[in-house]
Structure 1
Amino acid sequence: MWLLTSIFDQRLTEISVIVGILGAISALPIFKSIGNWSQRRRKHKADRLTEAIAKATRPLIESYHREHQEIMDKLADQDETSISLLHDRVYIDGQKMLDKGETSIDEIDNFIHLYQRYRKLGGNGTGEAMNRRVMDLPLKHETNTLVQEADRIHKEREEK
């Protein structure tokens, strides 16, 4: 009898294991469905949150874009104004030097500063033509120019 009970218990254990394995295998699709449902739910929540944030911040972003465009327009206007003023100065200063038929180192130094800014901002060919004419002028001899004095000042600062 003991042998019969032992075999019966062994068979019962094997059947329990088989039933457990079959149960687990048959439950996999159910767990997979639950997992998919949970993922879709999280994604839906995340999408709703993203949409709510976008809706809440849209007026702020639109306001920023408007203000940014206004600033960019003002900067473009300031550039155009600077080009116009520099063009006038390049033309007037250059014409004065051309009328004299010669120029000084100080005048050239000042003219170069004006012309470089004018060109960097996108000045047209008139300024370039004036620059070429001015650079072809003969230099008058000077002994104590501002450029020379500025060089001395820079050297003194470097020595300190």
Structure 2
Amino acid sequence: MSYDANGIGASLGYSRALTETLGVRLESSLGYTSARYSYDDADGNRQQYNPSSLRFDANATFSRRIPVIGSFQLHPSLGAYASYRVGLDDRLVVLEGLDRYEAGLDAGLQFGVPVSFRLFGTDVTVPLTTRFSATSGDLVDLPRWSPSSGLRVRF
């Protein structure tokens, strides 16, 4: 499960050690986004806009394992991502001069410092990640940064 600025979702991933301290992770996810925007129309009336969409996401990252203390480890990572959002409605709204569509491709670089530890005999990771968009995605202003976090549990 994950929750970030893009909504809530579920992800499935595969991690593989390349050496004792270097690894690679492939991950895909499906998420649901529901956001609320408000803006003033031409008559000065406050308008609400509540778009919702599905988000398909994939990323590949390389990481290095750095032991901290006990079972705690840091995994600085760098890679690429691609995300495609499909709007559940096909409306267009103008927000403060920006055209926003509820569908579009977003791709770019991803980096972060996931923290992992053992909890009750299970491997747990908190992926602290930031993305830098190299495409317009669904907003016209570029570039943009998108921090996120979540919780990964390996059974």
> Could you say whether these structures have the same fold, taking a TM-score greater than 0.5 normalized by the shorter chain as the test?
no
TM class, shorter-length:
under 0.3
Larger Rg: 1
TM-score, normalised to structure 1, is: 0.18
The structure where helix makes up a greater share of residues is: 1
TM-score under structure 2 length normalisation: 0.18
